[in-house]
């Protein structure tokens, strides 16, 4: 599964469909996970995103964080960082949000079958990776080692804390670290890149999926490459100024590609030449 | 049949920090080393104290902390299996810069810093090799600290 979407011209991808908020859970002080119900199930590939809007507050690209095997409920984890996301986070059960999509290229979870898969997530970057984790855990026997390296700012800002143990019991090796913590925290403290060496990867058979702040991803990729994972086996989800979501407006251009259409998931070997150009 | 326990020499040879050293160099290093086990909460080094030893973590976790008057110790970083605790034995004034505390039961290899320093002074090739390794480890720590300082998980506009 490494879906590539074609430029969309149909009306359905341009007009938001109404989705009712069926459930809402607070993950951290400023981050909420929503369960949305539409008229029809929204099938999606792990790593794809939708354009999500609350009435009158603008539209934002948000990665789908739900289970791809349960498309009847659209799940989004949203952090309130601006006008549009704050309006979405304020939506209460029963209210209606607008959804366009799904859009973009997903994680190559099907191509990675047979390999060890290391997942490097930073902060809210775990949300776009959650569908890939759920998809692979549902097909656990098809993979070698599955390893999650998850870094956050502080213990109370880690996402899906109640799920991490359950994932571990289903065969995901979970290593968590935070940048800072009080003495009550018994886990790792330090940057997520430090976990790469601790994971003791078999670099010859590993595929890596990375999502988080771009600075974190750069250093995570560097740490992965240092232990021998080739950059054409490292995939990263990029964030740019996506507006139309369907490859028309050009706002999310990165080099010769449009992140909403060719991305948001790229092979790092396709990306690094463009990221090296600071003006892009 | 159970797994054979690694000898001290084998553990040192397998440690990432000593990877690639010659057999003779590893023997010199092992001559300054001994196995050590500590309980949770044990202080391996205390800020300001002479740094006579350093440690290689075989199994367990060690927290590096900074003491702040009137408040809990500030947790800077945790180290795990295969990590080295402390490089201050190699640099004047040979004093611990942070507290190093075991967060649980730890199996360690303790190295006598002054013993190894003496060997480095007499064998410059060994000294150069260890200095390169310490520099690489310190550079990694510096880079990690820079990323921590960036607070990359803060709001995007804060970056």
Domain covering A11-103 in this structure, CATH number: 2.40.30.10
CB A31 within 8 A of CB A159: yes
Interchain contact, A157 vs B153, CB within 8 Å: yes
Which tokens belong to B126? 């060994």
- DSSP class of residue B95? B
Measured in angstroms, the CA of A213 and the nearest CA of chain B are apart by 6
Residue A185 vs residue B63, higher pLDDT:
B63
* Confidence class for position A3, pLDDT limits 50, 70, 90: very low
Return the pLDDT at B123.
Answer: 96
Return the pLDDT at A103.
Answer: 92
Q: Write the CB contacts of B95 (distance below 8 Å, at least 6 apart in sequence).
A: B48, B49, B50, B51, B88
Return the pLDDT at B120.
Answer: 95
d(CA B37, CA B55): 11
> Looking at the predicted complex, does its ipTM rise above 0.95?
no
Return the pLDDT at B156.
Answer: 47
* Confidence class for position A207, pLDDT limits 50, 70, 90: very high
Interchain contact, A198 vs B80, CB within 8 Å: yes
Share of chain B above pLDDT 90, in %: 74
Lowest mean pLDDT among A51-55, A184-188, A230-234, B114-118: A184-188
Return the pLDDT at A256.
Answer: 84
Interchain contact, A183 vs B72, CB within 8 Å: yes
d(CA A211, CA A236): 6
- Smallest Cβ–Cβ distance between A213 and the set B75, B80, B152 belongs to B152
Give me the average pLDDT of each 10-residue run along chain B (159 residues). Answer: 74 92 94 96 95 95 89 88 93 94 96 96 95 93 88 58
Return the pLDDT at A1.
Answer: 44
Interchain contact, B159 vs A182, CB within 8 Å: no
d(CA B96, CA A155): 28
- DSSP class of residue A58? -
Flag whether residue A66 sits within 8 Å of chain B, measured between CB atoms.
no
Q: Kindly list the structural domains of chain B, giving each domain's residue range(s) and its CATH number in brackets, ordered by start.
A: 8-148 (2.60.120.10)
The DSSP result for A208-247, as a single string, is EEEES-HHHHHHHHHHHHHTT--GGGEEEE-----SSSSS
Return the pLDDT at B158.
Answer: 31
Flag whether residue B81 sits within 8 Å of chain A, measured between CB atoms.
yes
Residue A182 vs residue A143, higher pLDDT:
A143
Return the pLDDT at A214.
Answer: 87
Question: Looking at the predicted structure, is the pLDDT value of residue A91 above 90?
Answer: yes
Flag whether residue B143 sits within 8 Å of chain A, measured between CB atoms.
yes
The boundaries of every CATH 3.40.50.80 domain in chain A are 116-237
Return the pLDDT at A240.
Answer: 80
d(CA A135, CA A133): 5
Residue A101 vs residue B120, higher pLDDT:
B120
CB B78 within 8 A of CB A189: yes
Q: Which CATH code of 1.20.120.160, 3.40.50.1370, 3.90.1150.10, 3.40.50.80 fits the domain covering A116-237? A: 3.40.50.80
Number of inter-chain CB pairs under 8 A, A vs B? 69
């Amino acid at each position: 599964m490494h879906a590539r979407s074609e430029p969309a011209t149909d009306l359905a991808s341009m007009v938001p469909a109404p989705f009712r908020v069926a459930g809402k859970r607070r993950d951290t002080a400023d981050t909420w996970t929503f369960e949305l119900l539409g008229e029809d199930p929204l099938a999606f590939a792990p790593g794809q995103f939708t354009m999500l809007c609350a009435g009158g507050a603008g539209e934002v690209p948000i990665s789908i964080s739900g289970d791809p095997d349960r498309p009847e409920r659209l799940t989004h984890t949203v952090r309130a960082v601006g006008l549009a996301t704050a309006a979405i986070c304020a939506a209460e059960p029963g209210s209606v949000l607008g959804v366009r999509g799904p859009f973009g290229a997903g994680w190559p979870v099907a191509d990675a079958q047979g390999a060890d898969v290391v997942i490097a997530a930073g902060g809210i970057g775990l949300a776009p990776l959650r569908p890939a984790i759920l998809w692979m855990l549902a097909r656990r026997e098809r993979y070698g080692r599955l390893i999650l390296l998850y870094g956050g700012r502080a213990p109370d800002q880690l996402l899906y804390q109640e799920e991490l143990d359950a994932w571990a019991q289903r065969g995901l090796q979970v290593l968590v670290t935070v940048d800072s913590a009080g003495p009550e925290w018994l886990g790792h403290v330090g940057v997520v890149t430090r976990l790469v060496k601790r994971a003791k990867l078999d670099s010859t058979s590993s595929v890596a999926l990375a999502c988080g702040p771009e600075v974190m991803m750069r250093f995570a990729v560097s740490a992965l490459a240092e232990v021998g994972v080739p950059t054409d086996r490292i995939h990263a989800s990029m964030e740019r100024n996506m507006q139309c979501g369907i490859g028309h407006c050009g706002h999310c251009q990165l080099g010769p590609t449009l992140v909403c259409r060719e991305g948001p998931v790229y092979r790092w070997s396709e990306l690094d030449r463009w990221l090296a150009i600071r003006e892009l | 049949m159970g797994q054979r326990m690694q000898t001290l020499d084998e553990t040192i040879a397998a440690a990432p920090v000593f990877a690639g050293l010659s057999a003779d160099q590893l023997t010199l290093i092992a001559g300054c080393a001994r196995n050590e086990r500590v309980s949770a909460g044990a202080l391996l080094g205390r800020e300001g104290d002479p740094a006579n030893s350093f440690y290689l973590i075989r199994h367990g976790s060690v927290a590096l902390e900074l003491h702040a008057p009137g408040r809990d110790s500030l947790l800077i970083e945790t180290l795990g299996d295969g990590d080295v605790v402390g490089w201050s034995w190699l640099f004047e004034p040979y004093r611990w810069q942070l507290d190093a505390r075991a967060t649980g039961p730890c199996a360690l290899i303790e190295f006598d810093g002054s013993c190894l320093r003496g060997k480095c002074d007499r064998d410059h090739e060994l000294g150069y090799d260890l200095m390169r390794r310490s520099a690489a480890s310190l550079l990694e720590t510096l880079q990690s600290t820079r990323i921590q300082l960036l607070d990359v998980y803060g709001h995007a506009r804060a970056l």
